[in-house]
């Protein structure tokens, strides 16, 4: 929501090179201990609208949450302290003082974000600038709100000035800023201002797609991003004193994704040197130590970074947790439990934040689960939190509680699904579920553990760990081949159905022709996640010809999980009109209605259902068409 950017002060100096009359060679001349103060202002208005990325009628095409009007007005002093000089360039400590202004998002005042910016940027950011003035690395607190980090990058990148290697009057470079990689064109203005300053014009000539282009934006959309820039930056520097004096800019950026305009921003930026001084020996030594400390404490990053899902999630959770302490949360949960409260909303979000940000607290949650009332708030809330978190610590806490309540079905009804839903299950978690699935004498516990094993295999395969998923699937297939009990066979089939593994397809095809309708139904439903071209024909054949209504119903249920085609729609229309079972016709009607935006030709079949002999089907069809 808060897209921010950054930049650094380019201080340039002039050193005569060669005979009189030749072009000057521009150089940076930072001296350790120098302190430069600049008055800085930044104003931007950004309108983003991602709805264009979605086709009409699909999720997001009419979602107002995809529209954002963000306005930022920041004014204050940027302080640069030259900490050190080494063969790689200069190390600069940058912070901001007296920041004021305002931030609004969709006309809502974001005063808390402005305060976070003011507080976060008051701490030093360490910047490495090479000899030409290119910002090659920076170190800032990774625990800062990503929006605050982005603001720092924005303010630094806006004033980056990369000098030529020789005495050129025009040159090109490649630079990073907070939006990506740009080809930049610089020009010396031949008209020297009367005050003796040298004027440089900077143009962001062309956005260069990064290796991140093509990264999935959603399940079916690839990012093909381009950025168009209008405007220029006017840079004034003192060639004798070797420092940036002023900078003024106005730029308009337009961002296109998949060749569709999704964002436009109008930015005005200004910088003016107000003071230069020298630090004493003690302050200079402290700056050098601070520089070394920041390099040890924080990872080096660049002006342009792609914030990963984990970083985004942690930032969201830190905001959710706010000022709440761990002790306060556990006390609040105990009070809620004592009072018999069932509303877990806000408390759930805070415990989720705690588990993600402070994983060591998971063991305490596991201890509570080992003794919690299965019908109480603590059991439901903490099991869900640990399952969603899914960290190694969360899995260990759930495993400990499961072992201590091995035959306690009311508790296991919460604990086993929580462990099974962990996105990246550990080998220990898999082994525990297999132990319960194949050794527990309590049928509900064994059955639930088997289902969760299938879910684990599904998650592992999609997390890029097919070898671990294959172990679970092969174990279930081996047991399925030896099973002589209908209930056990059904459970193995359901486990394989949750796994969605292609390797299970031959075995499932065998059971689809079984004489027992319950087993055929389970095998048909187990095909829903398997990605193979032969699956749809198998499901359509069962829908058309299996004599058992329960099998045809499961075929309809399985088709809900798959990409619909014209053949699927045609088969469903035939079922709505002609299947002998009212239950099957009713289920097919519901499926057809869900597909109406993609396949408008389903409406005649819905119209026909208004005349069905079954009252429930007639009522549903009439309700769909607005006739009731």
User: pLDDT tens across 161-217, in order?
Assistant: 999 888 889 999 999 988 889 999 999 998 877 787 889 999 998 888 754 433 333
Q: Do residues 134 and 160 make contact, with C-beta atoms less than 8 angstroms apart?
A: yes
163-172, 407-416, 504-513, 579-588: the lowest-pLDDT one:
163-172
Q: How confident is the model at residue 57 (pLDDT cuts 50, 70, 90)?
A: very low
Residue 555 backbone class (left: φ over 0; alpha: ψ -120 to 50; beta: rest): alpha
What is the CA 137 to chain-centroid distance, rounded? Answer: 24
**pLDDT in the model for residue 220:** 38
φ, ψ (nearest 5 deg) of residue 495: -60, -45
Q: Residue 323 is encoded by which pair of tokens?
A: 């000022």
Please check the confidence at residue 224 and state whether its pLDDT lies above 50: yes
**pLDDT in the model for residue 323:** 66
Burial class (CB in 10 A: 0-12, 13-18, 19+), 277: exposed
Cα(422)–Cα(385) distance, rounded to whole angstroms? 10
Instruction: Give which of 496, 563, 550 is closest to 518, Cα–Cα.
Output: 550
Q: Do residues 6 and 180 make contact, with C-beta atoms less than 8 angstroms apart?
A: no
Instruction: Give which of 4, 3, 8 is closest to 175, Cα–Cα.
Output: 8
| Rounded (to 5) percent helix, strand, coil in the chain | 45, 25, 30
DSSP state letters, 407-469: T-HHHHHHHHHHHHT-SS--HHHHHHHHHHHHH-S-HHHHHHHHHHHHHHHHHHHHTT-HHHH
Residues 6 or more apart in contact with residue 144 via CB below 8 angstroms: 120
Cα(500)–Cα(495) distance, rounded to whole angstroms? 9
φ, ψ (nearest 5 deg) of residue 596: -65, -30
Domains of the chain, each with CATH number or no CATH:
13-307 (2.30.230.10), 316-549 (1.25.10.10), 563-628 (no CATH)
Please state the pTM of the whole predicted model.
Answer: 0.55
Mean pLDDT, residues 306-326 taken together: 64
Cα(273)–Cα(354) distance, rounded to whole angstroms? 44
User: pLDDT tens across 332-377, in order?
Assistant: 898 888 887 766 667 888 888 888 888 999 999 999 999 999 999 9
18-22, 79-83, 167-171, 555-559: the lowest-pLDDT one:
18-22
Write down the residue that tokens 């381009």 correspond to: 226
Q: How confident is the model at residue 12 (pLDDT cuts 50, 70, 90)?
A: very low
User: pLDDT tens across 439-465, in order?
Assistant: 888 999 999 999 999 999 998 998 888
**89-105/125-129 β-pairing:** antiparallel
What is the CA 237 to chain-centroid distance, rounded? Answer: 41
Please check the confidence at residue 626 and state whether its pLDDT lies above 60: yes
Cα(245)–Cα(8) distance, rounded to whole angstroms? 14
For residue 256, the cross-strand partners are 226, 261
Collapsed DSSP state (helix, strand, coil) of residue 479: helix
Cα(160)–Cα(136) distance, rounded to whole angstroms? 11
Collapsed DSSP state (helix, strand, coil) of residue 289: helix
Q: Do residues 13 and 24 make contact, with C-beta atoms less than 8 angstroms apart?
A: no
């Amino acid at each position: 929501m808060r897209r921010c950017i950054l930049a650094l002060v380019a201080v340039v100096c002039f050193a005569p090179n060669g005979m009189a009359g030749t072009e000057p060679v521009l150089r940076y001349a930072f001296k350790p201990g120098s302190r430069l103060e600049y008055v800085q202002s930044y104003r931007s208005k950004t309108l983003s609208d991602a709805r264009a990325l979605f086709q009409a009628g699909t999720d997001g095409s009419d979602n107002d949450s995809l529209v954002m009007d963000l306005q930022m007005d920041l004014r204050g002093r940027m302080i640069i302290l030259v900490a050190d000089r080494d063969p790689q360039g200069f190390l600069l400590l940058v912070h901001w003082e007296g920041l004021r202004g305002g931030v609004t998002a969709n006309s809502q005042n974001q005063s808390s974000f402005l305060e976070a910016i003011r507080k976060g940027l008051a701490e030093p950011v360490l910047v490495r600038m090479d000899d030409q003035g290119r910002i090659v690395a920076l170190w800032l607190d990774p625990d800062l709100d990503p929006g605050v980090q982005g603001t720092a990058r924005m303010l630094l990148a806006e004033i980056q000035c990369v000098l030529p290697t020789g005495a050129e009057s025009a040159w090109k470079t490649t630079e990073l800023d907070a939006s990506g990689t740009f080809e930049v064109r610089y020009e010396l203005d031949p008209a020297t201002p009367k005050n003796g300053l040298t004027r440089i014009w900077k143009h962001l000539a062309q956005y260069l797609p990064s290796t991140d282009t093509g990264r999935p934006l959603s399940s079916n959309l690839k990012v093909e991003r381009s950025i168009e820039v209008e405007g220029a930056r006017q840079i004034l520097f003192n060639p004798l004193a070797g420092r940036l004096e002023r900078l003024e800019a106005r730029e308009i950026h337009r961002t296109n994704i998949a060749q569709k305009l999704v964002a436009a921003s109008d930015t005005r930026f200004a910088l003016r040197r107000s003071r230069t001084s020298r630090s004493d020996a003690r302050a200079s030594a402290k700056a050098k130590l601070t520089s070394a400390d920041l390099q040890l404490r924080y990872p080096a990053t660049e002006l342009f970074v792609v914030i990963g899902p984990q970083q985004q999630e942690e930032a969201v959770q830190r905001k959710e947790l706010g000022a709440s302490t761990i002790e306060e949360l556990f006390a609040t949960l105990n009070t809620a439990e004592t009072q018999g409260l069932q509303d877990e909303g806000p408390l759930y979000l805070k415990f989720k934040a705690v588990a993600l940000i402070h994983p060591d607290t998971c063991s305490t949650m596991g201890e509570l689960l080992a003794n919690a009332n299965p019908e109480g708030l603590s059991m439901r809330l903490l099991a869900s939190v640990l399952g969603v978190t899914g960290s190694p610590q969360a899995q260990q806490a759930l495993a400990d509680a499961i072992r201590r309540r091995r035959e306690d079905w009311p508790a296991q009804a919460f604990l086993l699904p929580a462990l099974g839903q962990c996105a990246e299950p550990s080998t220990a978690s898999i082994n525990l579920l297999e132990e319960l699935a194949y050794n527990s004498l309590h049928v509900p516990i064994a059955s639930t553990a088997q289902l969760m094993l299938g879910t684990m295999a599904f998650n592992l395969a999609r997390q890029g760990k097919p070898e671990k998923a294959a172990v679970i699937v092969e174990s279930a297939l081996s047991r399925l081949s030896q099973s002589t009990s209908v209930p056990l066979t059904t459970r193995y089939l359901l486990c394989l159905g949750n796994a969605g593994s292609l390797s299970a397809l031959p075995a499932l095809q065998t059971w689809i022709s079984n004489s027992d309708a319950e087993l055929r139904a389970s095998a048909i439903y187990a095909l829903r996640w398997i990605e193979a071209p032969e699956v749809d024909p198998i499901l359509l054949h069962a829908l058309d010809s299996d004599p058992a209504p329960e099998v045809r119903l499961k075929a309809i249920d399985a088709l809900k999980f798959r990409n619909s085609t014209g053949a699927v729609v045609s088969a469903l229309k035939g079922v709505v009109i002609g299947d002998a079972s009212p239950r099957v016709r009713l289920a097919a009607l519901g499926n057809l209605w869900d597909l109406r935006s993609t396949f408008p030709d389903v409406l005649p079949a819905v119209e026909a259902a208004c005349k069905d002999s079954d009252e429930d089907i007639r009522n549903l069809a009439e309700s769909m068409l607005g006739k009731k």
